[in-house]
């Protein structure tokens, strides 16, 4: 298939799919498909609630159309699948969105078509899990009648500097010719170029280890923070001192959530265990990072006890709910661990986050956060859990004003100076 003959569809218009569809929509006709009618309606009205694209960028994608009707995909011959790949309550991969998307594409697949996956998966998933679904629903044969590619997403929600066009893209294809075509397609929009991987499995593995490496680096720093806190040493001061060496990696302790770092390692460990290998280091890092919410609450309770503040029935304000600063993304936020743990102590918990969608927070976590500043002088403890710029602007004095005299102020993210808080990681 010549590059000029590609008729493109993007399956899934979330944090990954929409920016991709918008960039391609500047260059060529694109059908953007999503199963969420509300999402389609807001995009048709020129608004993106994820804030990953501006109203001006949406308007500039003049060749991009939106649909919830799978029949509108029949005119396309190249499909890019960008649906979520979460984990379930047992920390196992949940491939249901990926399988459902493959069913949708399979039903409209024709001879010569190409299906490219961007969703993060374990090595082998595209060819072992997705291709059989495409074959079943299309009646076509892989690498004879249709072809596949894999080009892992590399977005960073809330980052206005590193965006889809300015992050180097890994590409791959199920045959050498398809690999060349997939690479050429992405080079239409990726200004910094691409890296063509040896195979689909190599591209899948490359993606899943990117975040596994970062997860382990943060786990190391989290463990160091636990050790230094026991020794009465300020962790940030240690990291600043060590950071004076040119090759010291600038990681910081904290909660590890989000759609990638807190999820992707479980995809790799799942596959490793399926082939008979038990991954020691990766799972140890995951266990440590998953325990940090409980550790934060234990530290806060200890400080409250020392101050003779009754823990049971205490009013506690958690500042921030999103998984990272200055973005509305709530996926796999580990702030929820802090909230759950506080409730186990029978604390009365309020959550304040000016970035979140109240409806999404209610749907995902059963929490109704405040999006405007709470009343002053009513809290026994305040935990700054996310480093939103609004919180930094409030400063220690502004945040302490929300609490009672003598209230505990704990800083998870080093938003405030060390001498302005009662405790921090």
Distance from chain centroid for Cα 74 = 31
Among the residues of 152-263, which ranges form H helices?
176-186, 200-230, 235-242
Q: Would the pLDDT of 58 be above 90?
A: yes
Q: What percent of the chain has pLDDT over 70?
A: 100
Residues 6+ apart with CB under 8 A from 174: 127, 142, 143, 147, 148, 149, 200
Among candidate residues 76, 125, 148, 260, the one labeled active-site is: 260
The residue assigned the tokens 């629903």 is: 137
Give me the pLDDT at residue 287, please: 95
Q: Would the pLDDT of 156 be above 80?
A: no
Distance from chain centroid for Cα 237 = 29
Closest among 101, 105, 112 to 178, alpha carbons compared: 112
Give me the pLDDT at residue 2, please: 84
As to burial, measured by CB atoms within 10 angstroms (0-12 exposed, 13-18 middle, 19+ buried), residue 157 is: buried
Range in 1-5, 102-106, 224-228, 335-339 with the lowest mean pLDDT = 1-5
DSSP letter string over 353-391? -TTS-HHHHHHHHS---BSSPPPSS-EEEEEE-S--HHH
Pairing verdict, β 423-424 and 30-33: unpaired
Give me the pLDDT at residue 155, please: 78
Closest among 174, 213, 167 to 197, alpha carbons compared: 174
Helix (H, G, I), strand (E, B) or coil at 150: strand
User: pTM for this one?
Assistant: 0.91
Other CB atoms within 10 Å distance of the CB of residue 204? 28
Give the bridge partners for 87, in sequence order: 93
Q: Would the pLDDT of 162 be above 90?
A: no
What Rg do the C-alpha atoms of the chain give, in angstroms?
A: 23
Mean pLDDT of 42-71: 94
pLDDT digits (tens, 9 = 90+) for 289-337: 999 999 999 999 999 999 999 999 999 999 999 999 999 999 899 999 9
Angle at 79 between CA 74 and CA 81, to 5 degrees: 125
Task: Report the distance separating Cα 108 and Cα 77, nearest Å.
Answer: 9
pLDDT digits (tens, 9 = 90+) for 104-141: 999 999 999 999 999 999 999 999 999 999 999 999 99
Distances (CA, A) of 356 to 51, 124, 249: 11, 36, 31
Q: Would the pLDDT of 159 be above 80?
A: no
Contact 83, 119 (CB under 8 A): yes
Give me the pLDDT at residue 160, please: 74
pLDDT digits (tens, 9 = 90+) for 257-282: 887 888 999 999 999 999 999 999 99
As to burial, measured by CB atoms within 10 angstroms (0-12 exposed, 13-18 middle, 19+ buried), residue 360 is: middle
Residue count of the chain, please give it. Answer: 425
Contact 358, 378 (CB under 8 A): no
Give me the pLDDT at residue 135, please: 98
Residues 6+ apart with CB under 8 A from 192: 165, 166, 167, 168
Residues 6+ apart with CB under 8 A from 285: 215, 216, 218, 219, 220, 265
Concerning whether 327 is annotated as a catalytic residue, the answer is no
Give me the pLDDT at residue 209, please: 94
Give me the pLDDT at residue 1, please: 81
Query: Residue 240 — pLDDT band, cuts 50, 70, 90?
Result: very high
Give me the pLDDT at residue 362, please: 96
Angle at 414 between CA 410 and CA 419, to 5 degrees: 65
pLDDT digits (tens, 9 = 90+) for 63-73: 999 999 999 99
Element (H, E) at 132: helix 131-138
Query: Residue 3 — pLDDT band, cuts 50, 70, 90?
Result: confident
Distance from chain centroid for Cα 221 = 20
Give me the pLDDT at residue 216, please: 96
Query: Tokens at residue 38, please?
Result: 């509300």
């Amino acid at each position: 298939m010549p590059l000029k003959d590609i008729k493109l569809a993007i399956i899934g218009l979330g944090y990954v799919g929409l920016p991709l569809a918008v960039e391609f929509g500047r260059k060529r006709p694109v059908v953007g498909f999503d199963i969420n009618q509300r999402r389609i309606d807001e995009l048709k009205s020129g608004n993106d609630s994820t804030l990953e694209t501006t109203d001006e960028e949406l308007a500039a994608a003049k060749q991009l159309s939106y649909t919830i009707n799978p029949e509108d995909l029949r005119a396309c011959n190249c499909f890019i699948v960008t649906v979520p790949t979460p984990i379930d309550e047992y920390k196992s991969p949940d491939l249901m969105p990926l399988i459902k998307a493959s069913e949708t594409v399979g039903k409209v697949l024709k001879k010569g078509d190409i299906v490219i996956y961007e969703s993060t998966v374990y090595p082998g998933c595209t060819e072992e899990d997705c291709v059989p679904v495409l074959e079943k629903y299309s009646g076509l044969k892989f690498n004879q009648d249709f072809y596949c590619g894999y080009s892992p997403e590399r977005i960073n929600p809330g980052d206005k500097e590193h965006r889809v066009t300015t992050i180097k893209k890994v590409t791959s294809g199920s045959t050498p010719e398809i690999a060349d075509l997939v690479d050429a397609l992405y080079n239409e929009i990726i200004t910094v170029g691409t890296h063509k991987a040896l195979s689909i499995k190599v591209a899948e593995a490359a993606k899943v280890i990117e975040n596994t490496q970062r997860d382990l680096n943060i786990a190391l720093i989290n463990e160091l923070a636990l050790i230094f806190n026991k020794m009465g040493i300020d962790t940030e001061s240690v990291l600043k001192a060590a950071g004076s060496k040119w090759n010291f990696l600038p990681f910081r302790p904290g909660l590890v959530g989000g759609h990638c770092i807190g999820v992707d390692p479980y995809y790799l460990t799942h596959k490793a265990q399926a082939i008979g290998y038990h991954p020691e280091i990766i799972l140890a890092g995951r266990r440590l990072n998953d325990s940090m919410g409980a550790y934060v609450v234990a530290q806060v309770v200890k400080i409250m006890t020392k101050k003779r503040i009754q823990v049971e029935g205490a009013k506690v304000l958690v500042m921030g709910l999103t998984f990272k600063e200055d973005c509305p993304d709530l996926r796999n936020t580990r702030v929820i661990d802090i909230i759950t743990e506080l409730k186990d102590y029978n604390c009365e918990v309020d959550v304040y986050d000016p970035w979140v969608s109240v409806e999404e927070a209610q749907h995902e976590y059963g929490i109704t956060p405040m999006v405007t500043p709470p009343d002053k002088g009513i809290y026994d403890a305040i935990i700054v859990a996310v480093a939103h710029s609004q919180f930094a602007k409030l400063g220690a004095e502004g945040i302490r004003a929300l609490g009672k005299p003598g209230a505990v102020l704990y800083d998870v993210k080093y938003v405030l100076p060390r001498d302005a808080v009662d405790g921090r990681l």
